[in-house]
Structure 1
């Protein structure tokens, strides 16, 4: 919404939320305190906020004034009931649709922005249709058009992804509504990159895109394990196959597995949908992508224990990086969570450092508060040096650029000998680490 406001100064954009604290953070004069860390976002918000970008808790008033309403609420995986562990929880989509139905005036275009299972638009349309024709005050009868406009940005590069997108996808049945939304994006996106489909193709395209990207990550991580067993180097293998124009080089970086708010959730939803329609072999195929991802994280934790003489009980381990990827403070489904939980179960003492993730978020993700002394405990470190002090090993779990520039000649003497570096992101200067006296393991090439 900030980018739309930035590129379309003639359009008034109002972002509403029921969470007063979050709205207050978006309105904070200090742009460094925005609730989401994303490179470049502060500058975009700074240009538009108060001009044509507004943040408010006045949900009903904003809906009543809007020509177009974007539904951008959370759609997490259900934790209980039918489809638990796979199906999307659509309670907030339904609640939002009901609120739009109640508050809208005249004709309103309702845009699905959240990632949704295919055919969700039927639910939204059914709710809106029940209010169709109602008179709001002295206005015209209520009418609605429903569009699907999934987002394909990546966290960490969201602003350039939005400013120069590979494609904008708009699905719908009302040509006038489709063109109204296309005209918004057309202010800065070339027409050939604005794709128009039916509603169901648009909804399914988002799930499919994320499933295909996640599948590549699981595939290269499976090959990484084979490389470690055979003496091959996964980076060399990835480069070799990535030069094939039929394959390409993207998402062939071995690591601790995928995380974030979308990949696992969307694949599990795809698994559920396939099972619902009786496509059980297809469901099993996509389920294996998620299982391989979990296996990779458990494998890394087991490998650390094995290398540290079969036990990490009472040993201090430095964890560098907790966000699911660099340039974001998002920890949803972060690989570091499962790896840290496995090590805590082995009674390790973890010192966790991440430049953007606060201690309270780490505590929420690990399900326990910090403690600096007990076995099976963790605490937050304020710097890499503080994290590695007296540690038997350091694990790099997020590819922050600063971790590629660590001075191992200064850090290694702070550690207990023999000391290990486990580079799960292939980002560290391994030669410098070895020269400083560390034993080194890198994902996809084993012990170096």
Structure 2
């Protein structure tokens, strides 16, 4: 069967679907790309004429949206119509961790994947390629396939006209938020898993518009699905490993930046993901490791499950350790003290706060009685309020309307604060005027740099006490 791709539909207008489809539209001007979502407000934001109001902040994304939107890139809520017209459909829906039922707390919740597959089965026509883009458990493709063919079989039994056929591929994303546009335009590899060679070729031909052939790796479905989980688990493992060493450095007088540089120069190891900090965040690392733990236990591999679970334990421990250090340095109590929080996103160059280390650290400081002033250049007030309220409620931490205040600049955050805590590595925080800041903070003033990005020597010259991770 030959596939000619003229129309692409992407179900899910989130951090994966939006940027991925913007790049495809940019590189393939002869293909119409439609991104659909049930969230009307999100689609309205994608269509906002003011590009600064896009629902996702990602460097370079606004340029692509301006170039392609309403030409060959469209954002809509009419999911049925987009499915009907599509030759290829990407599944980029949310796959959160299950909160109830079998596998609660570890397994992925596939309700949106299943719902999307049922819509595709119902509204698609002709030969349709369905591409898994979301992070999914191994062998999810079997579930998607069974749903897609179930409707076809029911039509056959009723002797109703039916010309539908489906091919399911796995094409996981390997994006780092903050650099996702560059990651999409200059990928390390493009992974395509499947058993329909013609469908694989059709997807490969799309990527060949800008990706070198040698970077396109083709596998079976199960290897592709597991590769995504494994890649994220390995990256998270490196972060937990270097953070565990940062604690040893603080106890022995070593400097984590020196240790990381020495270790990273070994070409068998490399220097990426060896930056000590407050732990990993984002939508994938924790979720994917929990899924590996679940899969390992499901197949009776208890030692494997225990190994990967420890990566999460170290991550949680690092965040708790930082909270306790702040309390200890500020004379054992945070009551009636104001703490300025610099950064709330889980990393720089994104407005994503999912699983951000800042959430747990802020919650711990609130529990100790601190009043927080929070500033992040890209995360809005509503998101910060929602994250902190949910974190406090889920942990039974008492809070009030004045437990935190969201500020719109660095200097308001520092004014009358007893301490500043750098939690996101925004470039702005690496170039702070410490003379001006020291004049508006309460004395004795403290800087807790969990990212190791500030100039500690200048801060000290301006009579600011400083703690940096791993030093």
Shorter chain as denominator, the TM-score bin is over 0.9
Once residues 275 and 46 of structure 1 are traced to their aligned partners in structure 2, the CA distance between those partners, rounded to angstroms, is: 47
Question: In the alignment, which of 187, 191, 194 is matched to residue 165 of structure 1?
Answer: 187
Mapped to 2, the partners of 1:96 and 1:374 lie a distance apart of 40
Which residue of structure 2 aligns with residue 386 of structure 1?
412
The structural deviation recorded for 1:359 is 0.9
Pair 1:238-2:260 in alignment: yes
Is 1:432 matched with 2:458?
A: yes
1:64 maps onto 2:90 in alignment: no
| Alpha-carbon distance in 2 for matches of 1:197, 1:139 | 34
Structure 2 portions without partners, runs of 5+: 1-20, 393-398
Alignment counterpart, residue 94 of structure 1, candidates 104, 108, 114: 114
1:262-281 equivalences under 5 Å are 262-281=284-303
Cα offset, 1:9, TM superposition: 0.3
Deviations 1:1-40 (A, max 9, x none): 0000000001110001111111111111111111000000
Partner secondary structure for residue 436 of structure 2: helix
Q: What TM-score do you get using the length of structure 2 for normalisation?
A: 0.92
In structure 2, how many angstroms separate the alpha carbons of the residues matched to 1:82 and 1:41?
39
Give the distance between the partners of 1:8 and 1:140, measured in 2 at CA. 31
State the TM-score, normalized to the length of structure 1: 0.97
Aligned pair count? 443
Q: Matches of 1:374 and 1:248 in 2, distance apart?
A: 46
Partners of 1:38 and 1:6 lie apart in 2 by 16
Change (3 A) 1:363 1:375: closer
Contact in 2 for aligned 1:351/1:378 (Cα 8 Å): yes
Rounded Cα–Cα distance in structure 1 between residues aligned with 2:151 and 2:288: 31
1:44 and 1:441 mapped to 2: Cα distance?
41
Aligned counterparts of 1:334 and 1:49: Cα–Cα separation in 2: 31
Find the aligned partners of 1:41 and 1:408 in 2 and give their Cα distance: 33
Displacement after TM superposition at 1:374 (Å): 6.2
- Counterpart contact for 1:345–1:376, Cα < 8 Å: no
Alignment deviations for residues 114-169 of structure 1 (CA, whole Å, 9 cap, x no partner): 0001011111011011123648xx98611000000000011000111000100000
The Cα of 1:95 is off from its aligned counterpart by 0.3
- Structure 1 segment 403-414 matched on structure 2, within 5 A: 403-414=429-440
Structure 2 equivalent of residue 204 of structure 1: 226
**Is residue 347–residue 376 contact of structure 1 (8 Å, CA) maintained in 2?**
no
Secondary structure at the aligned position of 1:132 is classed as: helix
- Structure 1 residue runs of 5 or longer lacking an equivalent are none
**Could you tell me which residue of structure 2 aligns to residue 84 of structure 1?**
104
The 1-side partners of 2:468 and 2:402 are apart by: 25
Q: How far apart are the structure 2 equivalents of 1:254 and 1:320?
A: 17
Measured in 1, the distance between the counterparts of 2:354 and 2:57 equals 14
2:62 match: 42
Give the SS at the match of 1:181. Answer: helix
Check 1:179–1:66 CA distance in 2 against 1; reply closer, same or farther (3 A cut): same
| Counterparts of residues 138-149 of structure 1 (less than 5 Å) | 141-149=163-171
Q: For the residues of structure 2 that align with 1:131 and 1:192, how far apart are their CA atoms? A: 38
Does the 8 A contact of 1:71 with 1:96 survive in 2?
yes
What is the CA-CA distance between 1:432 and the residue it aligns to? Answer: 1.0
Instruction: Indicate the SS of the match to 1:35.
Output: coil
State the partner residue of 1:109. Answer: 129
Query: Relative to structure 1, is the Cα distance of residues 374 and 173 closer, same or farther in structure 2, using a 3 angstrom cutoff?
Result: closer
CA distance in 1, matches of 2:90, 2:33: 10
Shift of 1:375: 9.4
Kindly report structure 1 stretches of 4+ aligned residues shifted beyond 4 Å. Answer: 373-376
Please give the secondary structure, in 1, of the residue aligned with 2:90.
strand
Tell me, yes or no, if the aligned pair for 1:76 and 1:88 is still in contact at 8 Å.
Answer: yes
